[in-house]
Amino acid sequence: MAVPEAAPRKHMGDYDVIVIGGGIIGAMIARQLSKLKGRFALLEKESFGGFGVSKASLSQIHLPDFCPPGTLKGKLVREAPTRFKKLAAELDVLYREVDELWLALDPAQVNNLEAARARAESHGATGFEIISPQRIHELEPQVTPKAVAGLYARGLGVIYTPEWNFALIENAVENGVQLHLQTEVIDIAKTRDGTLRLTTGQGTLTASYVINAAGLYADEIARMAGDAHLQLSLRKGTMLIFDKSVSYAVRHMIFGSFSESHSQNIAPTAHGNLILGVHYVKTDNKTDSRVSREAIQQTLKLGRELVPALSEKDMITSFSGILAQPNMSRDGDFYIAPSENAPGVIHVMVGAPGLSAAPATAEYVVQLLGDAGWRTEEKANFNPRRRGWPRFETASIAKKKQMIGADSKYGHVLCRCEQVTEAEILQSIRRGAHTMDAVKHLTRAGMGRCQGGFCTPFVLKHLADTLGIPPTRVTKSGPGSHQILKITKAVAGNE
């Protein structure tokens, strides 16, 4: 019996460049491409951009003191704070200046401080200063008295990565990039005319060039392109978030010792919490986001070596993130290079500090496209400006009154912990946050002390009402993650 042919997949478009991966790297590349003439697409397998590695990060913007001399990542990180400040103004997103302080807890560790300064200076960074215990405690009164020396650097910062991820994609789309969500690439092939055909769960697309910025899945995209030799080494890290009530305890990004098993780091977040991490364990499971009790205790122990007053009772949540290190690089460097077997494909495989390097990485990728033969030509109508929406929590009293006068929904606070209003929830939904997690990470409703215990039902109702769907169709993070299975009142007595 003849086997029927599979139905042809829907063709979703022909492009000059397709970017695979809607995390912070892919979003930054898409936005950089949107400055140019051409047809561009950004593919993301999740229901919202930045739900992978980008979301589960420390969100810190570094200088190259983490980068060995001669590395590509050191070159790309060198001017990170300046680049992020400029982008923050253009995209109307938060950038908080937070200085950096490395600690030596015994005399033998002073060499670590000197080495960090030497790494930074090898890439042209300046302003690093070795300081005394007295100066350390002037800057950070809660730091351990065991600190014998510190390395002080000014002019760094922290961001809120989900907000940045969304703003970059929104601005790229406004400038002509086509966004395809829930679009997982399952095959890459070369067509007869030399273009690249991408088969996805939603249909097919073609492009002259493909940028592999798929994060944890970049090795799988590389295999589809014939580059099976590109692999990733994975480490899962645990991070803890502390209540804003203890924000006074730490003013800087404070670092201690580093190894393959841990990274002592505690710092303010962009919104005033404290974040502590990272305790690492080796893993082969890219989807393992579990946080064990043991990992929390180990992470807390590392933090208390820097700031003894840290208390578990002030911890409001924990999460894990996976750090992927490409095998083709030396000294922990990035691997950003054309495919060896599929002309037109460029692999972007980065580890830490990938977030800090993201703006320069995007520029570097466009340079590689030019080297590969694509004509990069700027367009005259690129609009770098994107407007966010007013945030009630951080507004002055006068501004809050003005906001409520313009829209009474700003007077209805739905998330008491983070002071998120009904107006902000509705704005996020109207602009593309169509799941519970998307609203949460854009507005921060549900990220405070009660972790959504009060505001979750209100957010769910607004999603259902605004999208015009029943509550049973509202999901946490996309297909298969429905929040409500049945309306019990409606089925009472029928089971």
Of how many residues is the chain composed? 495
Residue 448's contacts (CB-CB under 8 Å, 6 or more residues apart) are 316, 415, 416, 417, 418
| Cβ neighbours around 7 below 10 Å, total | 6
User: The dihedral of CA 39, 40, 45, 46: what is its sign?
Assistant: negative
Q: What is the DSSP string of 103-136?
A: EESSGGGHHHHHHHHHHHHHTT----EEE-HHHH
Task: Choose among 185, 210, 207, 187: nearest CA to 195.
Answer: 207
445: tokens are 């409703």
| Straight-line distance from the first to the last Cα atom of the chain, in angstroms, rounded to the nearest whole number | 45
**Cα atoms in the Cβ-side hemisphere of radius 13 Å centred on 382:** 17
Among 17, 102, 66, smallest CA distance to 346 is for 17
Give the CA distances from residue 78 to residues 54, 118, 120, 325, 383, in Å, rounded to whole numbers and listed in that order: 20, 13, 8, 20, 26
Q: Is 269 in a helix, a strand, or coil?
A: coil
**One-character DSSP codes across 24-86:** HHHHHHHHHHTTBSS-EEEE-SSSSTTTTTTTSS--EE--GGGS-TT-HHHHHHTTHHHHHHH
Tell me the DSSP string of 128-179. -EEE-HHHHHHH-TTS-TT--EEEEE-S-EEE-HHHHHHHHHHHHHHTTPEE
In angstroms, rounded to a whole number, what is the distance separating the alpha carbons of residues 178 and 162? 20
Question: Residue 262: enclosing H or E segment and its boundaries?
Answer: strand 262-268
Residue 412 bears catalytic tag: no
φ, ψ of residue 159 in degrees (nearest 5):
-130, 175
376 class by beta-carbon count within 10 Å (0-12 exposed, 13-18 middle, 19+ buried): middle
Q: Residue 220 corresponds to which tokens in the numbers above?
A: 């799988």
Helix (H) and strand (E) counts in the chain: 14, 21
Q: What is the CA radius of gyration of the chain?
A: 23
Task: Determine the residue type at 389.
Answer: W
| Alpha-carbon gap, residue 355 to 50, rounded angstroms | 12
Q: Which of 62, 180, 279, 462 is catalytic?
A: 62
> Which residues carry out catalysis?
62
